[in-house]
Chains A and B, each alone.
Chain A
C-alpha cells in the first residue's frame, strides 16, 4: 500500500503550487485557479488522513464534501465579482485594478 506520507507530500506540493499561483499570477482568473488548487490540496490531506488514521470516523469524509461545496460557492461569487469588475474596467489584470491604495 502507498504510504500516507506520499499523499501528504503530494498535497503539500499542490498547496505550494496553488499559493505560488495566487501570489505570482496577474490574471484574476488564474488567481482563482490557484485558490482552487490550494483547496484541492486540503481535500487530499483530509481524505488521506481519514483513510489512514481513523477510517471509522465519518467526519473526515464529511469535511471533504463540505470543502467542495464551499469552494464551489466561493468560485461562483468570485467569478460574478470578476465579471462586474471586467464590465467597469475592461481588465482583470490584478495590477491594473489599483484605484484604491494607501
Chain B
C-alpha cells in the first residue's frame, strides 16, 4: 500500500468532515444569537446540517474501489470509511432529533456542539490509517462523550455516569496507547500498513506482538463494551441523558467496531489464529454475560445496556470469521443494530419526557395509552430479538453464517442459544406494554414532532432493511472488499 502524493483533490475526501465543522460553527453562532425558546431550533439546524453532510459524503466524497492512503498516510479513503460514515451521520442526525425536546438538553447549544464534535471524531476513526491519527480520532470522539454522559450536572445519576465513563475510558485508552507505542517500537513506523509490513518481516517475536495486541484490544473492547470491559456500560447508559445513551450504544459502538476491524485485519494478519481465538472467547463471554444479567433488569435503560452488550457479542461473531462475508456481515449488523437500538432508546426518551420514569413497570398499559408508541416499541424489540421481517433477523443470520463458514460452529451454537435467552427478556417488556393494565391509561402522552419524525424514520429503516436487504448487504460487501 503506497501513499498517494499530495494533490489538492484529496480535500474532496474530507468534505464531510469539513461540512461537519461548518455545521458546528453555525450551531455555535446561533447558540449565541438565539434566545431561550428559539434555541430548540438548533436541533433542526443540526439535523439538516447532518443530512447535507450525508448527501455530500454520498456524492462528492465517494472513494475509488481500491481506496487510497491520503494526507501522508494519515487517512485511508476507502469504501469501509464511506459506508460507516453513512451510519454515523444518520445516527447523529436522529440523535439530534431525539435530543430536541428532552428537558434541559434540547435547548442547550452545548449538546449539539459536543455531539457534532464527537461525530467528527467518528468519521475520522472510520478512515484513520495511522496510529497518531487513530489515537487522536478516538479521543476526539470520546472526550465530548464524557461530557455528554455527565451533561445534567445537577443530577446525581448523570454526574456519576460521566465520572465513571471518564475514569474507565481514560484508563483503557492509556492501556491501548501503550500497545500502540509497542507497535511503533517493533516497526519504527506509525502507519498501519507500514507497521503491517514491518511485523511481516518476522524479526519481532510472536509473543511481543501478542502482548501489544491484547493491550490494544482492551482499549477497543472498552469502546464496544465487550466482556470483561463491559461493566461501565449499564451505569453510564442509565445515568446519561437518554438520547446520549442511544448515541453511545450505537454510533460510538459502530465506530469502535470499524477501528477494531481495520486494525486487526490490516496489522495482525501474522497472528490471525491467536486473535481470532481471543475474540471468539470474548464474543462468547460477552453474549452470555449481557443476556443473562439483562434477565434481571427492572430499568429499561439498564436492560437496553445489557442487551447492547449482548449485541456487541453477536457482531464480534462476524469479526471472528475474518473473511469478506465476515466483515460484510458485521457492517450490516452494525447498520441494523443502529436503527433498532436508536428506536428503542427513542421510545424510552419519548416516554421519559412525559412520565418521568425509566422503570419497566411504568410501561404497563402503554398499548392502550399510546398505541403508536407501543407499536414502535414492538418493532424495535422484536428486531432486537432477531424476529423476521425486521432488520435484526437478517443481521443475525448473516453474522452466524459467516462464522459457520469460517469453522466456528461452537460459537454459533452459543450465539443461537443466547438469542433464545434474549427473546425471553424482550418479550417480557412487550408483555408489560401489551398485557398489563394501569390507572394512567386515560392520561395523554404527547409525542412532539421531532420524536415522531425520528421514530418514523427508524421504524421505516428497520422494516426496509429487514425486507429489501439486498442493496444494504451490497453496501456491506463494498465495505468488506476495501479491507482485503
Could you tell me which A residues sit within 8 Å of B by CB distance?
A: 8, 15, 18-19, 22, 28, 31-32, 34-35, 38-39, 41-42, 45-46, 49-50, 53-54, 57, 59-60, 62-63, 66-67, 70, 73-74, 77-78, 80-82, 84-85, 87-89, 94, 97, 99-102
Contact with A along B159-179 (1 / 0, CB 8 A): 111111011001100110110
Note all chain B residues with C-beta closer than 8 A to A81: 146-147, 150, 159, 162-163, 166
Shortest Cβ distance from residue B253 to the other chain A in the assembled complex, whole angstroms:
19
Q: Is the CB of A28 within 8 A of B163?
A: yes
Shortest Cβ distance from residue B371 to the other chain A in the assembled complex, whole angstroms:
33
**Given A42-B174, A100-B164, CB of A77 within 8 Å of CB of B136:** no
Q: Is the CB of B163 within 8 A of A63?
A: no
Q: Is the CB of B188 within 8 A of A53?
A: yes
Alpha-carbon gap, A77 to B169, bound state (A): 12
Shortest Cβ distance from residue B134 to the other chain A in the assembled complex, whole angstroms:
11
Give 7 nearest A-B pairs by CB, closest first. A54-B188, A38-B174, A49-B185, A100-B235, A45-B181, A84-B153, A59-B190
Note all chain B residues with C-beta closer than 8 A to A102: 234, 293, 296
Q: Is the CB of A101 within 8 A of B181?
A: no
Q: Is the CB of A77 within 8 A of B185?
A: no
Q: Is the CB of B159 within 8 A of A85?
A: yes
Contact with A along B279-312 (1 / 0, CB 8 A): 0000000000000010010000000000000000
Shortest Cβ distance from residue B198 to the other chain A in the assembled complex, whole angstroms:
10
Closest to B162 in A: A81
Q: Is the CB of B162 within 8 A of A84?
A: yes
A63: contacting residue among B132, B155, B162, CB under 8 A: B132
Note all chain A residues with C-beta closer than 8 A to B181: 42, 45-46, 49, 63
Known pairs A38-B178, A42-B180, A88-B154. 12 more at Cβ < 8 A? A19-B175, A38-B171, A60-B184, A63-B132, A66-B136, A74-B139, A77-B147, A81-B147, A85-B150, A85-B159, A88-B156, A97-B160
Q: Is the CB of A70 within 8 A of B146?
A: no
Which residues of B284-342 have CB atoms within 8 Å of chain A's CB atoms? 293, 296
B422 within 8 A of A: no
**Given A42-B178, A81-B166, A101-B235, CB of A22 within 8 Å of CB of B184:** no
B157 within 8 A of A: yes
Shortest Cβ distance from residue B396 to the other chain A in the assembled complex, whole angstroms:
27
Q: Is the CB of A99 within 8 A of B143?
A: no
**Given A63-B132, A88-B159, CB of A45 within 8 Å of CB of B185:** yes
Closest to A46 in B: B181
Alpha-carbon gap, A97 to B135, bound state (A): 29
Which residues of B177-198 have CB atoms within 8 Å of chain A's CB atoms? 177-178, 180-182, 184-185, 188-190
B177: contacting residue among A32, A42, A89, A94, CB under 8 A: A42
Contact with A along B122-157 (1 / 0, CB 8 A): 000000001110011001000100110010011111
Note all chain A residues with C-beta closer than 8 A to B239: 99-100
Contact with A along B366-401 (1 / 0, CB 8 A): 000000000000000000000000000000000000
Note all chain B residues with C-beta closer than 8 A to A62: 132
Note all chain A residues with C-beta closer than 8 A to B135: 63, 66-67, 70
Shortest Cβ distance from residue A72 to the other chain B in the assembled complex, whole angstroms:
11
Q: Is the CB of A100 within 8 A of B177?
A: no
Q: Is the CB of B143 within 8 A of A74?
A: yes
**Given A42-B178, A45-B182, A49-B185, CB of A35 within 8 Å of CB of B170:** yes
Note all chain A residues with C-beta closer than 8 A to B182: 45
**Given A42-B181, A74-B170, CB of A85 within 8 Å of CB of B136:** no
Shortest Cβ distance from residue B51 to the other chain A in the assembled complex, whole angstroms:
29
Shortest Cβ distance from residue B163 to the other chain A in the assembled complex, whole angstroms:
5
Q: Is the CB of A99 within 8 A of B160?
A: yes
Alpha-carbon gap, A18 to B161, bound state (A): 23
Alpha-carbon gap, A38 to B181, bound state (A): 12
Alpha-carbon gap, A89 to B174, bound state (A): 28
Note all chain A residues with C-beta closer than 8 A to B146: 77-78, 81
**B130, B139, B170, B180 — which one has the most chain A CB atoms within 10 A of its CB?**
B170
B150: contacting residue among A8, A31, A41, A84, CB under 8 A: A84
Q: Is the CB of B178 within 8 A of A63?
A: no
Note all chain B residues with C-beta closer than 8 A to A41: 178
Alpha-carbon gap, A27 to B177, bound state (A): 24
Note all chain B residues with C-beta closer than 8 A to A34: 171
Closest to A45 in B: B181
Closest to B147 in A: A77
Which residues of B14-40 have CB atoms within 8 Å of chain A's CB atoms? none
Closest to A38 in B: B174
Shortest Cβ distance from residue B321 to the other chain A in the assembled complex, whole angstroms:
32
Note all chain B residues with C-beta closer than 8 A to A53: 185, 188
Q: Is the CB of B174 within 8 A of A70?
A: no
Q: Is the CB of B189 within 8 A of A59?
A: yes
**Given A38-B174, A38-B175, A39-B174, CB of A100 within 8 Å of CB of B185:** no
B178: contacting residue among A45, A54, A60, A73, CB under 8 A: A45
Q: Is the CB of B188 within 8 A of A100?
A: no
Note all chain A residues with C-beta closer than 8 A to B157: 99-100
Q: Is the CB of A22 within 8 A of B163?
A: no
